[in-house]
Chains A and B, each alone.
Chain A
Amino acid sequence: MQQVVALAASQPIFLSLPAPDTEVMSNVVWGRFEDVFTPAFWAAQAWMDSSHTDGNFSLGRSLAEELVACLLGGHGAPAEVGLAAFQRVATHLREHGPTLSHATAIDLLSRPLAVNGRWVRYRFANTRARYLVGSLQALPHIQESELDDTELRNRLCALPGIGLKTASWIVRNQRGSDQVAILDVHIMRAGIMMGVFEKGSSPARGYLGLEARFLTFCRAVGVRPSQMDAVMWRTMRNVGPILMGILIPSSNSRSNALTYSEGDSDVGRRRRRR
């Protein structure tokens, strides 16, 4: 047994976890909670995190806005830039209605964005504009209220530029869903370091199998998948390249070995040429 102590309102609170050598799932042991990126570490960090206990992950005010946020926050866009682009598009949609012309979408995404006091450009404006226009046109044909989480995810995958990861992200944010996983580079790295995912695993090959492993892991450590995802994403995003190199000696933390660009073939080609 391991005992974790944390502070809540300045008072100590305690969490008991199984012994480090106990299996949390097949061929994966809990590890020590003091050691970063073990299952016990993630269980303890999620236990201490109270930022999403209300299950609210929404970036937008509607399914359409959530789609915009996730589509623009996809591969190749720094988080802050994606959010700034989303804010601009969402403001336009609220003022002018739920669809965009291609020209308007390009205009919205091409103009520089103010991000933390700097002007930056949104990359892939043309491609993402095309996806936005097509997806917003098709979205009203999806009867959201009639679909469960995985059904909604699958329907969203049929929209331009949206694959399993982005569709899962939309559903998780919109519904606080615990039925889907957002297998981005950060979740993949965390999963591989724990042994929940095999080395060399890629969501481009077998997304649903990896998702099932992730959901099984979360349930095994007693954490809602949506909550675990939030903690992992925030934590992993802030791991610097030197530390990542120590933790994954064979990796080049800046490489895109674990990234993939679902449906975003233009982006993928451009990255691969580098």
Chain B
Amino acid sequence: MSGGGGGGGRDDLSPGVGGGADQCGKSYIAPINSPKAAVLGPLAAGAVLDVDVLTSGSSSALVVKDAAGALAGALTFLGYLTVINCIVQQGIAYKATIQTITGGVYTVEVAPL
């Protein structure tokens, strides 16, 4: 039994009981969505991008930027809201390091600093 989608407190608004504190310590492997070729083109594996939350009106997106602050694309992996939460709620900074570039797909490791 995992709880999960089965739930175990459907209206639960609490931060949880114990555990969960290391959510912001996790790293993720994910592709960059909506990649900006002009920004990513010059970069190779090993290049490091900034991870930021872009808020516009009532919407937020998790984005990656190059060293000059140019938008390189978005991160939309399953559960990426956890990273947004860690940035917004706890002020934790993340970096995205390019792992592979295959067929125009840039895969990055997203990890806290």
The answer for the CA separation of A272 and B79 in the assembled complex, in Å, is: 33
A17 to chain B, nearest CB (A): 11
State whether A239 touches B85 (Cβ < 8 A). Answer: yes
- Provided the pairs A34-B61, A246-B88 are in contact, do residues A185 and B77 lie with their beta carbons within 8 angstroms? no
**Cβ contact of A81, chosen from B9, B59, B77, B81, cutoff 8 A:** B9
State whether B59 touches A36 (Cβ < 8 A). Answer: yes
State whether B4 touches A115 (Cβ < 8 A). Answer: no
**Cβ contact of A82, chosen from B8, B33, B76, B103, cutoff 8 A:** B8
- Provided the pairs A34-B34, A116-B18 are in contact, do residues A239 and B81 lie with their beta carbons within 8 angstroms? yes
**Cβ contact of B9, chosen from A82, A193, A227, cutoff 8 A:** A82
A51 at interface, CB cutoff 8 A: yes
Interface size band for A: 35 or more
The answer for the CA separation of A255 and B8 in the assembled complex, in Å, is: 20
Interface residues of A in 198-256 (CB under 8 A from B): 226-227, 229-231, 233-235, 237-243, 246-249, 253-254, 256
Q: Which residue of B lies closest to A184 (CB)?
A: B10
**Cβ contact of A5, chosen from B10, B14, B18, B31, cutoff 8 A:** B31
The answer for the CA separation of A171 and B31 in the assembled complex, in Å, is: 37
- Provided the pairs A239-B85, A247-B58 are in contact, do residues A34 and B74 lie with their beta carbons within 8 angstroms? yes
A48 at interface, CB cutoff 8 A: yes
- Provided the pairs A234-B4, A240-B88 are in contact, do residues A6 and B77 lie with their beta carbons within 8 angstroms? yes
B1 at interface, CB cutoff 8 A: yes
Task: List, in ascending order, chain B residues with CB within 8 A of A5's CB.
Answer: 31, 33, 105
State whether A51 touches B33 (Cβ < 8 A). Answer: no
B97 to chain A, nearest CB (A): 15
B12, B33, B77 pick with most chain A CB within 10 angstroms? B12
**Cβ contact of B89, chosen from A78, A118, A243, A248, cutoff 8 A:** A243
Interface residues of B in 29-87 (CB under 8 A from A): 29-31, 33-34, 55-56, 58-63, 74, 76-79, 81-82, 84-85
B113 at interface, CB cutoff 8 A: no
B9, B15, B29 pick with most chain A CB within 10 angstroms? B9
A63 at interface, CB cutoff 8 A: no
The answer for the CA separation of A237 and B107 in the assembled complex, in Å, is: 28
Q: Which residue of A lies closest to B99 (CB)?
A: A10
Task: List, in ascending order, chain B residues with CB within 8 A of A70's CB.
Answer: 10
**Cβ contact of A51, chosen from B5, B16, B76, cutoff 8 A:** B5
Interface-side segment among A52-60, A94-102, A129-137, A146-154: A52-60
Task: List, in ascending order, chain B residues with CB within 8 A of A128's CB.
Answer: none
The answer for the CA separation of A4 and B84 in the assembled complex, in Å, is: 19
- Provided the pairs A243-B84, A247-B60 are in contact, do residues A59 and B8 lie with their beta carbons within 8 angstroms? yes
**Cβ contact of A83, chosen from B3, B23, B62, cutoff 8 A:** B3
A74 at interface, CB cutoff 8 A: yes
A177 at interface, CB cutoff 8 A: no
A77 at interface, CB cutoff 8 A: yes
- Provided the pairs A116-B19, A243-B89 are in contact, do residues A74 and B10 lie with their beta carbons within 8 angstroms? yes
Residues of A within 8 A of B (CB): 4-7, 10, 12, 31-38, 41, 44-45, 48-49, 51-52, 57-60, 69-70, 73-83, 86-87, 115-118, 120, 165, 169, 173, 182, 184-186, 193, 226-227, 229-231, 233-235, 237-243, 246-249, 253-254, 256, 259
